[in-house]
């Protein structure tokens, strides 16, 4: 897109009006005549007609021979872009302090799928949801560079014991902190990773760099977090169990996993 793309600017101007957005969303559910549309929106008929005229001129809606107004295919495409703007607007404070530059471009345009995700604003809350994710997992847990925490080791052991499969993508620098090694060996036992690797229940891959944290199961996303603009993580981000959030994060994990190099423990 060029900065002098007046057609895009004109379109953004038309959909910047709250009433016109409401009309588009209402008509996307079912075609309506102006009188019925006015009643549904609680608007005066003249006001509704004026907005419909502008939307029709822009090509977002059309009037059929039956007198019903409908969203055009062009309007349907425009509506599909609104969730991304909604996500950015609702999470403006987070986006001002965190960078999404490390997110693959094809996922940046899909950020609207996270509109149903719940923001996490406290690192301690993140730890809770990480533990809940692995505690409730029945099929798998997928992990991208999630920080270690000692209170999670018993849940990891229990998950392995009930047959949960694990996939772990990490950078070379992301290792168990030395003070936690004793806790990990006590809870999991020595050589746990190697044992479950042999069983095919655990897979590990390494990547040179990954600028996000992701922890999820088949049931929920415990944490999706991005780095601060000045570097490092504050371990706040998003969680969710709705279909769109699970699909986005599942696709993202598979994309990053495909680029990882398998780790073969001795």
The whole-number mean pLDDT for each consecutive block of 10 residues of the chain, a chain of 266 residues, reads 71 89 94 93 92 94 94 94 92 95 93 96 94 95 87 83 91 74 68 63 90 96 96 94 98 96 75
Distance (Å, rounded) from C-alpha 7 to C-alpha 246? 35
Going from the N-terminus, what domains does the chain have, and what CATH number goes with each?
6-82 (1.10.10.10), 92-262 (3.30.870.10)
The string of pLDDT tens digits covering residues 11-24 is 888 888 999 999 99
Contact 114, 245 (CB under 8 A): yes
Give the C-alpha distances (Å, rounded to integers) separating 150 from 96, 125, 157, 185, 220. Answer: 32, 15, 12, 11, 21
Contact 1, 40 (CB under 8 A): no
Give the C-alpha distances (Å, rounded to integers) separating 154 from 55, 164, 219, 243. Answer: 58, 14, 20, 29
What is the predicted pLDDT for the residue at 193? 60
Q: Nearest to residue 216, comparing CAs of 94, 132, 122?
A: 132
What is the predicted pLDDT for the residue at 53? 94
What is the predicted pLDDT for the residue at 192? 61
DSSP β-ladder status, 165-170 and 140-144: parallel
* Structure tokens that stand for 78 in this block: 């425009």
What is the CA 190 to chain-centroid distance, rounded?
36
- In DSSP notation, 35-57 reads HHHHHHHT--HHHHHHHHHHHHH
What is the CA 77 to chain-centroid distance, rounded?
20
Contact 246, 260 (CB under 8 A): no
Looking up tokens 């809940």 gives: 132
Give the C-alpha distances (Å, rounded to integers) separating 220 from 114, 129, 180. Answer: 13, 9, 26
The string of pLDDT tens digits covering residues 246-264 is 999 999 999 999 999 988 7
What is the predicted pLDDT for the residue at 157? 83
* Structure tokens that stand for 234 in this block: 């504050």
């Amino acid at each position: 897109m060029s900065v002098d793309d007046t057609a895009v600017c004109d379109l953004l101007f038309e959909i910047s009006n709250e009433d016109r957005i409401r009309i588009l969303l209402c008509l996307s559910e079912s075609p309506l005549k102006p009188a019925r549309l006015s009643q549904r929106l609680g608007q005066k008929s003249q006001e509704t007609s004026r907005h419909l005229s502008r939307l029709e001129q822009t090509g977002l809606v059309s009037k059929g021979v039956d007198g019903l107004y409908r969203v055009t295919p062009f309007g349907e495409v425009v509506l599909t872009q609104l969730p991304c703007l909604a996500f950015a607007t609702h999470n403006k404070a987070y986006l001002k302090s965190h960078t999404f530059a490390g997110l693959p471009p094809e996922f940046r345009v899909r950020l609207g799928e996270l509109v149903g995700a719940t923001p996490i604003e406290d690192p301690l809350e993140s730890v809770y949801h990480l533990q809940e994710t692995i505690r409730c997992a029945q099929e798998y847990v997928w992990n991208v560079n999630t920080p270690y925490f000692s209170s999670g080791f018993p849940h990891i052991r229990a998950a392995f014991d009930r047959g949960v499969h694990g996939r772990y993508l990490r950078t070379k620098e992301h290792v168990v902190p030395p003070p936690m090694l004793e806790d990990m060996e006590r809870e999991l036992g020595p050589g746990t990773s190697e044992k479950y690797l042999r069983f095919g229940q655990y897979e590990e891959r390494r990547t040179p760099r990954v600028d996000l944290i992701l922890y999820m199961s088949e049931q929920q996303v415990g944490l999706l977090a991005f780095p601060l603009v000045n570097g490092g993580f504050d371990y706040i981000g998003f969680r969710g169990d709705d279909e769109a959030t699970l699909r986005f994060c599942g696709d993202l994990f598979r994309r990053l996993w495909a680029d990882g190099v398998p780790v073969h423990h001795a």
